[in-house]
C-alpha cells in the first residue's frame, strides 16, 4: 500500500537524467549536443593551439606543407611526367587542389585516432563522444584558411580572377567535411577496439589521393571510367575548387549529386555505428 | 514532493574480461571467428571471461544526503560511479537522477601540458560542463584558491605535480552541481591540500547539496558522510547510516584478515614462531574495532611456537592507515618488563593493554612483532584495522580540522 504511494509520488517528476541500457538504433540528442557546443569550441581551439606550440616556425607549417608538396608535384608530374593541367599554370593548378585535399587528409587522419588520443577524457568524464571526432575534423580548417591566403597571393601573381562560382566554395568545403566525418565516424569508433585502424590510415589517405585529381587532371581519366571515378566525392570537391577559383570547366554536377547522396547515406550510417559503439567506449578503450 | 535525488534499480554491469583488459586486434577477432566456425560454442565458453562488476544494486539517495561508497578493491565502487556519471552504460537495470550532476573521478581530466594555466582552466572547466561565461565569472576565485597566480600564464608542463593538482582541484571545486560525485581524488596532493579539499567537500555537503563520495579512508567517510553504501563483490551488502555501515565494514575486513593469516610466508622474521588471531576488545572485554579518544585498547593475540626458543618478547605498533606513519611503539620487555622464557613448541595467548589511546579520529592499523635478543622471530604487520572516533575530551570539531595525529591534554594561562 505505502509502496504504491511512493512510486506514484516519484513518477510525477521527470528525471534530469535516465540511466539505462540503450536499445534504440537511432537516438540523437541534439539538444544535448547543443548544450555542449562550448566544449566543441574549446577542444577545437586546443587542437589548433597545441599543434604549433613549441615549434620554431609555428603556423608557417600550415603554409609550408602544401607549398612543398606543390613544388614536388610540379617537379615530378609536370617536368618529368609531363602531366597536362588543362591550360592552367601547373603550380596553381596543383595548389588549388591541395588545399581541400590536405584539409580532408588531415581531418581523417587526425579524427580517426582522436578517440584513442583522448582516452583519459573518455574514461573519466561524460560528454557526447561525437564532439571529439568532430572537433578534430574542424581544427584543420584553420590550416586551410592560412594556406588560402597564399592561394590568393598566387592568383594575383598569375593574374587569375575568380568566377561567381566562388560563392559555391563553402558548399564544396562542406562536402569535403561531410565525407571526412562519414569516414571518421566509422574509423574512430573502430580504432577504439581495433588499433589496426591507426596503421591503415596512412595507406587509405595515400590511396585516396591517387584516386582524386590532386596531381593530375580529370581529363586523363578514360571516358568510360569517368562516371564511376566521379563518385569519389573528393573528385567533385577538387574540380569544384578549380572551377570556382580558376575558371576551369565545371565539374560533373550530376555525378557530384550522386556522390553527395552516397556520402549522406554513409554519414548517417557512420553516426548510427558511432552511437552503437559509443556504449562500450569507456569499457574498451 | 519526493526528496529522492538518485534512485538506482537493479543496476548491473557485465564485463567481458578479455575485452575490458586490452584492445583486440582485428586478426585475433578473425581467427576466433574462424575457429568458431568449426566448433559449437558451449555455455562454458560464454561464462568464461565474463564477470558481473555490479549485480542488481538498488538504492535511493535523498536530497542533502552525503553518501559514502565503501568496499574493497574490485567491489564495484568505480563501476557504480561510472554508471551514475554516464561514462558507461549499465548492462541492465535503471537509474533516475534528478538534478545536475558533476562527477570528479579524476582531477585535471584533459589537462594539456603545452597549455598555460589559464588555458587549462577554461578547457578543464568546459570538460566538466561549465559554460565559458561561468568560468570567466569564477576565474579569479579559481586562481586564488589554487595558489598558482604567478604561473597562470606558464605552460603547466613546467608546474610541479602538486601545482597541477591544486589547479585542477580548484576548477573542480568551483562547479556548482546539485549532485557531486567524487572518487578518491584526495589520494593525491600533500596533506595540507587534502585538508583543504575535505573542507571544500564538507562545504558542499553542508550546503544541502547531494554528495556521493568513494574513499578507502574510513575517517573521511565518517566525517563527511551521513549515510553509506557498502558494496561487496558487485552487490549491495549494506545501506544505512554511516556509522553502522563503516563499523560493519571494518569488522568484515577483520574477518577476512583472520582468514588470510595462514599465508605467512611473506612475513619478516626467522619463522620460529607465528602470530595468529589478533583480536581487539574494549576495556570491558567486548570485541570492539571502534574506540573513542582516550579509551583503552585491549589487544589479544595467539602465537604459535614451532621450535623451543630461550626467550621471546613482543612489541606492538600502531600506524595511521592512510599514511603508514608509525605513531605508537610499545615494547613488552622495555616498557613493562614482560617476556616469556623458554616457550615450548605450541600455542600461547597474550594480551596487551594500550592505555588511554589519544589518537584523532581516523583509521589505524596494528602490527605485532615477536623477537628475541638478537633477531625478529615474526613481524605481523598491519594485522587489522581499527578506527578512532571523537569523545568529549575536546570541543574542537575534529571532523573538519585534522591537524596532527595525537591529542594531548593541555592547560593554558596568561603570565602576569
Picking from A10, A42, A284, the nearest residue to B7 by CB comes out as A10
Mean pLDDT of A146-158: 93
Contacts of B126 in chain A (CB under 8 A): 38-39, 41-43
Average pLDDT, chain A: 87
Task: Say yes or no to pLDDT of A3 above 50.
Answer: no
Residues 6 or more apart in contact with residue B64 via CB below 8 angstroms:
B3, B208, B209, B210
Task: Say yes or no to pLDDT of B40 above 70.
Answer: no
Separation of alpha carbons A79 and A88, rounded Å: 15
Q: Give the pLDDT band of residue A99 (cuts 50, 70, 90).
A: very high
Task: Say yes or no to pLDDT of A257 above 90.
Answer: no
Contacts of B88 in chain A (CB under 8 A): 279-280, 282-283
> What chain B residue is nearest to A281 in terms of C-alpha separation?
B88
Separation of alpha carbons A257 and A276, rounded Å: 29
Q: Give the pLDDT band of residue B183 (cuts 50, 70, 90).
A: confident
Separation of alpha carbons B290 and B250, rounded Å: 9
Q: Give the pLDDT band of residue A103 (cuts 50, 70, 90).
A: very high
First to last CA, chain A: 47
* Alpha-helical segments (H) within B38-76: 43-47
What number is the ipTM of this complex? Answer: 0.84
Mean pLDDT of B329-355: 92
Query: For residue B137, what is its C-alpha cell?
Result: 565569472
For position B20, what pLDDT does the model report? 40
**A127 touching B (Cβ < 8 Å):** yes
Mean pLDDT of B1-13: 86
> Is the dihedral angle over the CA atoms A63, A69, A75, A77 positive or is it negative?
negative
Separation of alpha carbons B10 and B317, rounded Å: 43
**A194 touching B (Cβ < 8 Å):** yes
Place of cell 603556423: A59
Segment holding B311, helix H or strand E: strand B311-320
CA dist B204 → B77, B177, B214, B246, B386 (Å): 21, 9, 15, 22, 28
Residues 6 or more apart in contact with residue A230 via CB below 8 angstroms:
A218, A236, A251, A252, A255, A256, A258, A259
Give the best residue of A19, A121, A276, A277 to mutate against chain B (max B CB count within 10 A): A19
Contacts of A284 in chain B (CB under 8 A): 19-20, 23
Average pLDDT, chain B: 82
* Alpha-helical segments (H) within B58-116: 77-84
For position B206, what pLDDT does the model report? 75
In chain A, domain spans:
28-48+57-284
For position A96, what pLDDT does the model report? 94
Q: What's the pTM?
A: 0.72
For position B51, what pLDDT does the model report? 83
Mean pLDDT of B225-240: 92
Name the least confident of A17-26, A173-182, A256-265, B270-279: A17-26
User: Which residues of B, range 70-109, sit inside 8 Å of A by Cβ?
Assistant: 82-101, 103, 105-106, 109
Separation of alpha carbons B404 and B325, rounded Å: 12
Task: Say yes or no to pLDDT of B44 above 70.
Answer: no
For position B45, what pLDDT does the model report? 47
> What chain A residue is nearest to B185 in terms of C-alpha separation?
A124
Separation of alpha carbons B201 and B413, rounded Å: 36
Contacts of A16 in chain B (CB under 8 A): 97-101
Task: Say yes or no to pLDDT of A38 above 80.
Answer: yes
Task: Kindly state the DSSP code that residue B276 receives in the 8-state scheme.
Answer: E
Picking from B90, B98, B127, the nearest residue to A125 by CB comes out as B127
pLDDT digits (tens, 9 = 90+) for B402-414: 678 898 888 899 9
Residues 6 or more apart in contact with residue B329 via CB below 8 angstroms:
B315, B316, B317
Separation of alpha carbons A111 and A188, rounded Å: 7
For position B389, what pLDDT does the model report? 79
Separation of alpha carbons A101 and A208, rounded Å: 10
> What chain A residue is nearest to B107 in terms of C-alpha separation?
A124
Pairing of strands B362-371, B311-320: antiparallel
Task: Kindly state the DSSP code that residue A174 receives in the 8-state scheme.
Answer: H
Contacts of A114 in chain B (CB under 8 A): none
| Record: contact A18-B94, CB cut-off 8 A | yes
Task: Say yes or no to pLDDT of B233 above 70.
Answer: yes
Task: Say yes or no to pLDDT of A266 above 50.
Answer: yes
> What chain A residue is nearest to B110 in terms of C-alpha separation?
A121
Contacts of B19 in chain A (CB under 8 A): 193, 280, 283-284
Q: What is the number of alpha carbons within 13 Å of residue B213 lying toward its C-beta? A: 32
> What chain B residue is nearest to A123 in terms of C-alpha separation?
B87
B316 vs B262, residue with greater confidence: B316
CA dist A262 → A130, A217, A267 (Å): 21, 23, 8
Q: What fold, for B4-100+177-250?
A: Rossmann fold (3.40.50)
Task: State residue B337 phi and psi, 5-degree precision.
Answer: 55, 35
> What chain B residue is nearest to A285 in terms of C-alpha separation?
B23
- Contact in structure between B143 and B152 (CB atoms under 8 Å): yes
Q: Which of A42, A181, A157 is nearest to A104 (CA)?
A: A181
| Record: contact B25-A195, CB cut-off 8 A | yes
Q: Give the pLDDT band of residue A18 (cuts 50, 70, 90).
A: confident
Q: What is the DSSP string of B246-272?
A: HHHHHHHHHHHHHHHTT--TTSBS--S
Picking from B23, B83, B129, the nearest residue to A193 by CB comes out as B23
Displacement of CA A203 from its chain's centroid (Å): 16
B266 vs B139, residue with greater confidence: B139
* Helix A140-158, helix A90-112: angle, nearest 10: 180
Separation of alpha carbons A90 and A79, rounded Å: 10
Separation of alpha carbons B328 and B227, rounded Å: 31
Beta-ladder partners of B70: B230
Beta-ladder partners of B60: B7
Within chain B, which residue ranges are assigned CATH 3.40.50.300? Answer: 4-100+177-250
What is the CATH code of the structural domain delimited by B262-389? Answer: 2.70.50.60
**A39 touching B (Cβ < 8 Å):** yes
Mean pLDDT of A224-246: 89
Closest-CA distance of chain B to residue A272, Å:
17
Task: Say yes or no to pLDDT of B300 above 70.
Answer: yes
Name the least confident of A40-54, A71-85, A258-272, B164-178: B164-178
pLDDT digits (tens, 9 = 90+) for B46-80: 555 788 899 999 999 998 888 999 987 778 898 99
Residues 6 or more apart in contact with residue A126 via CB below 8 angstroms:
B85, B86, B87, B103
| Record: contact A15-B97, CB cut-off 8 A | yes
Q: Give the pLDDT band of residue A136 (cuts 50, 70, 90).
A: very high
Picking from A21, A39, A196, the nearest residue to B89 by CB comes out as A21
Task: Say yes or no to pLDDT of A274 above 50.
Answer: yes
Task: Say yes or no to pLDDT of A9 above 60.
Answer: no
Task: Say yes or no to pLDDT of A206 above 60.
Answer: yes
Express as a percent the part of chain B with pLDDT over 90: 32
Amino acid at each position: 500500500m505505502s509502496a504504491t504511494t511512493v512510486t506514484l509520488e516519484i513518477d510525477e517528476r521527470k528525471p534530469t537524467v535516465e540511466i539505462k541500457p540503450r536499445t534504440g538504433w537511432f537516438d540523437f540528442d541534439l539538444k544535448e549536443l547543443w548544450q555542449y557546443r562550448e566544449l566543441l569550441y574549446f577542444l577545437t581551439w586546443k587542437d589548433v593551439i597545441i599543434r604549433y606550440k613549441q615549434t620554431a616556425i609555428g603556423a608557417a607549417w600550415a603554409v609550408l606543407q602544401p607549398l612543398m608538396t606543390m613544388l614536388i608535384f610540379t617537379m615530378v608530374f609536370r617536368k618529368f611526367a609531363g602531366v597536362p593541367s588543362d591550360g592552367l599554370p601547373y603550380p596553381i593548378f596543383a595548389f588549388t587542389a591541395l588545399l581541400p585535399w590536405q584539409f580532408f587528409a588531415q581531418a581523417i587522419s587526425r579524427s580517426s585516432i582522436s578517440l584513442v588520443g583522448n582516452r583519459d577524457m573518455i574514461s573519466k568524464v561524460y560528454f557526447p563522444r561525437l564532439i571529439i571526432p568532430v572537433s578534430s575534423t574542424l581544427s584543420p580548417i584553420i590550416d586551410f584558411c592560412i594556406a588560402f591566403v597564399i592561394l590568393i597571393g598566387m592568383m594575383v601573381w598569375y593574374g587569375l580572377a575568380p568566377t561567381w562560382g566562388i560563392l559555391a566554395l563553402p558548399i564544396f568545403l562542406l562536402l569535403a567535411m561531410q565525407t571526412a566525418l562519414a569516414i571518421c565516424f566509422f574509423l574512430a569508433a573502430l580504432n577504439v577496439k581495433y588499433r589496426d585502424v591507426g596503421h591503415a590510415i596512412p595507406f587509405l589517405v595515400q590511396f585516396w589521393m591517387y584516386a582524386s585529381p590532386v596531381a593530375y587532371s580529370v581529363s586523363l581519366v578514360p571516358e568510360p571510367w569517368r562516371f564511376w571515378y566521379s563518385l569519389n566525392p573528393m573528385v567533385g570537391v577538387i574540380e569544384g575548387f578549380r572551377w570556382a577559383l580558376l575558371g576551369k570547366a565545371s565539374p560533373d554536377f550530376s555525378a557530384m549529386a550522386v556522390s553527395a547522396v552516397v556520402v549522406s547515406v554513409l554519414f548517417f550510417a557512420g553516426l548510427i555505428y558511432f552511437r552503437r559503439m559509443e556504449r562500450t567506449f569507456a569499457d574498451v578503450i | 514532493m519526493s526528496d529522492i535525488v538518485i534512485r538506482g534499480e537493479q543496476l548491473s554491469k557485465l564485463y567481458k574480461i578479455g575485452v575490458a583488459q586490452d584492445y583486440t586486434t582485428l586478426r585475433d577477432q578473425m581467427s576466433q571467428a574462424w575457429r568458431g566456425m568449426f566448433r559449437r560454442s558451449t555455455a562454458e565458453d560464454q561464462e568464461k571471461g565474463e564477470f558481473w562488476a555490479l549485480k542488481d544494486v538498488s538504492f535511493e539517495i535523498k536530497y542533502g544526503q552525503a553518501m559514502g561508497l565503501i568496499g574493497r578493491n574490485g567491489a564495484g565502487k568505480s563501476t557504480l560511479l561510472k554508471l551514475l556519471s554516464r561514462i558507461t552504460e549499465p548492462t541492465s537495470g535503471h537509474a533516475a537522477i534528478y538534478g545536475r550532476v558533476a562527477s570528479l573521478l579524476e582531477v585535471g581530466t584533459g589537462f594539456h601540458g603545452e597549455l598555460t594555466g589559464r588555458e587549462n582552466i577554461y578547457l578543464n572547466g568546459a570538460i566538466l560542463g561549465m559554460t565559458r561565461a561561468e568560468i570567466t565569472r569564477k576565474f579569479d576565485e579559481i586562481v586564488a584558491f589554487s595558489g598558482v597566480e604567478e604561473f597562470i600564464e606558464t605552460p603547466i608542463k613546467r608546474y610541479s605535480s602538486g601545482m597541477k593538482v591544486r589547479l585542477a582541484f580548484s576548477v573542480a571545486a568551483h562547479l556548482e552541481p546539485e549532485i557531486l560525485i567524487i572518487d578518491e581524488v584526495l589520494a593525491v596532493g600533500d596533506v595540507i591540500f587534502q585538508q583543504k579539499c575535505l573542507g571544500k567537500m564538507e562545504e558542499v555537503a553542508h550546503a544541502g547539496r547531494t554528495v556521493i563520495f568513494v574513499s578507502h579512508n574510513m575517517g573521511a567517510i565518517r566525517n563527511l558522510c551521513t549515510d553509506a553504501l557498502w558494496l561487496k563483490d558487485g552487490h549491495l551488502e549494506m545501506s544505512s547510516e554511516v556509522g553502522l555501515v563503516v563499523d560493519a565494514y571494518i569488522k568484515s575486513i577483520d574477518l577476512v584478515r583472520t582468514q588470510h593469516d595462514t599465508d605467512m610466508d611473506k612475513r619478516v622474521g626467522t619463522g620460529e614462531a607465528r602470530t595468529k588471531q589478533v583480536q581487539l576488545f574494549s576495556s570491558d572485554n567486548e570485541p570492539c574495532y571502534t574506540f573513542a579518544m582516550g579509551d583503552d585498547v585491549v589487544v589479544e593475540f595467539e602465537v604459535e611456537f614451532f621450535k623451543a626458543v630461550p626467550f621471546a618478547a613482543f612489541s606492538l605498533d600502531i600506524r595511521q592507515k592512510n599514511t603508514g606513519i608509525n605513531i605508537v611503539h610499545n615494547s613488552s620487555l622495555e616498557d613493562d618488563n614482560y617476556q616469556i622464557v623458554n616457550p615450548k613448541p605450541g600455542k600461547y595467548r597474550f594480551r596487551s593493554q594500550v592505555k588511554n589511546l589519544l589518537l584523532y579520529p581516523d583509521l589505524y592499523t596494528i602490527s605485532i612483532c615477536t623477537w628475541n635478543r638478537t633477531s625478529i622471530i615474526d613481524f605481523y604487520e598491519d594485522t587489522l584495522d581499527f578506527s578512532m572516533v571523537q569523545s568529549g575530551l575536546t570541543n574542537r570539531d575534529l571532523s573538519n580540522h585534522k591537524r596532527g595525529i595525537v591529542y594531548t591534554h593541555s592547560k593554558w594561562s596568561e603570565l602576569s
